Amino acid sequence: MTAATEPSTVDGASTGPGVRISDLTVAYRTPAGELPAVSGINLELAPGSITGLVGESGSGKSTMALAMLNAVQQPGRITGGVIEIDGLGDVLSLSPKQIRAARGGSIGYVFQAAQNSLNPLKTVGKQLLDLGRSHGVEDKRALVRQAKELLSRMGLSGERVLDSYQHELSGGMRQRVGIMLALVLNAHVLVLDEPTTALDMISQANILSIIKDVHAEHGLTTLVVTHDIGVVAEVADRVAVMYGGRLVEQGPTVDVLRAPSHPYTRGLITAIPRLTGDPDVAQPLPGRPPTLGTIPRQGCVFRERCAVYAAGAREDCETVDPPAYDIGAERLVACHVVEEER
C-alpha cells in the first residue's frame, strides 16, 4: 500500500498538499472521431484551500474531476497533461497498483448522487471493510473506530449507519457516508462532485456546514464540483468557472462574484433567482450549452451565447481560442474582449 500523502505545514497548521493541473485534455471516441470534452485545463489548488469548480451541466466538470483519479472511463481517455499532487507525484504516470492505492488513500472522492456509489446489497459497514481490504489495512477495528468517529462528527450514529443498507438512509445521510468513506483512510485531497444535488434546502445547508468543518479539522485540499454558484459562495476560497471544456475565469471567490469579468460568469450570476426585489432582474442565459459534437473547434467556445460578441466584438473571437489572461489580483480570464478593455 502506498503511503498517504504527507500534509504540508503553513504557519504551524497542518494542511493538505498542493495540486497542480497543467494542460489537461480529455477526449472521447465517437463516430465523428475523438472529440475533446476537456481541453487545455490549467488549475492550481493551493494547499489547505477549498476551490469551487462551477459551470452548467455538460461543461466537463465531472470529467476533469475524474481525471484527478486517472479514472476517466471508456470511450474517454486522457490525451495529455499533468496532474501533480505534492508527495504523490504525477497521478497520470502512476502504475495501476499505485493509482489504486491513491484512490481512497491519498485522494478521497465523493461521487455525484452518493446512493449510486453505495452497494445496495451490502451494509455500509461491510463496504467499509471491503475498502480496508482493498487498501491493505490490517487493523480493521481501528478502521471501524475511525469511521464511527467521522460519522459522529457529522451528527450520525456510527453504530446505526454501519449496520444500515443504503436504502435505509436519507439522501443527506448517504452524502455524509460518502464523505466518511472518502476520508476514513486519511486522504488529504478531497473531491466532492455535486455534493448538494437532489437534497432539500435544510440538508444542503447541513452538508455545506459539514464540508467546511471536515475540511478545517482534517487540513484538506478540497475541490467542490457544482453547478450551483450559491454552493461556491458558501464554501470556496477560490472559484474556477468552466464552459465547453475550458476554464473561462478563475480567482478569489469574493472578487469573482462581486465583479465577474467573463461574460459567461456574469450570465451565471445574473440567472440566479432573487428572493427580494424585481424578479425580472434574473435573466436566463440565451441558447444552450454546447454538446461534445457542437463545441467550436476554434475561437471562443462561448461566443454563440455571448451578448458582447453579438453586439460586435473582435474578429479573433471566431478564430483564436482565448488564453487565460492575467488581469491582476490573482485572477485569470479567457476573454479577448476583457483583455482588450484593459
Residue by residue, pLDDT tens for the chain (342 residues) are 333 344 444 444 457 899 999 999 999 999 989 999 999 999 999 999 999 999 999 999 999 999 999 999 999 999 999 999 999 999 999 999 999 999 988 999 998 877 678 999 999 999 999 999 999 999 999 999 999 999 998 889 999 999 999 999 998 899 999 999 999 999 999 999 998 887 888 888 988 999 999 999 999 999 999 999 999 999 999 999 999 999 999 999 999 999 999 999 999 999 888 777 777 777 888 889 999 989 998 999 999 999 888 887 678 899 999 999 999 999 999 999 888 877
Angle between helices 171-183 and 201-218 (to 10 degrees): 10
Any idea where the domains of the chain sit in the sequence?
8-243, 261-341
Superfamily holding 8-243: P-loop containing nucleotide triphosphate hydrolases (3.40.50.300)
**R_g over Cα of the chain:** 21
CA–CA separation, 23 and 337 (whole Å)? 23
CA–CA separation, 115 and 235 (whole Å)? 23
3-state class (DSSP) for residue 65? helix
CA angle 186, 191, 193 (to 5 degrees): 140
* Assigned C-alpha cell, 42: 490549467
**This prediction's pTM:** 0.91
331, containing H or E segment: strand 331-333
CB 107 within 8 A of CB 98: no
CA–CA separation, 66 and 262 (whole Å)? 26
CA 67 from chain centre, in angstroms, equals 11
CA–CA separation, 53 and 316 (whole Å)? 27
CA–CA separation, 229 and 253 (whole Å)? 10
For strands 238-243 and 246-252, give the pairing: antiparallel
CA–CA separation, 263 and 287 (whole Å)? 14
* Assigned C-alpha cell, 185: 483512510
Beta bridge partners of 127: none
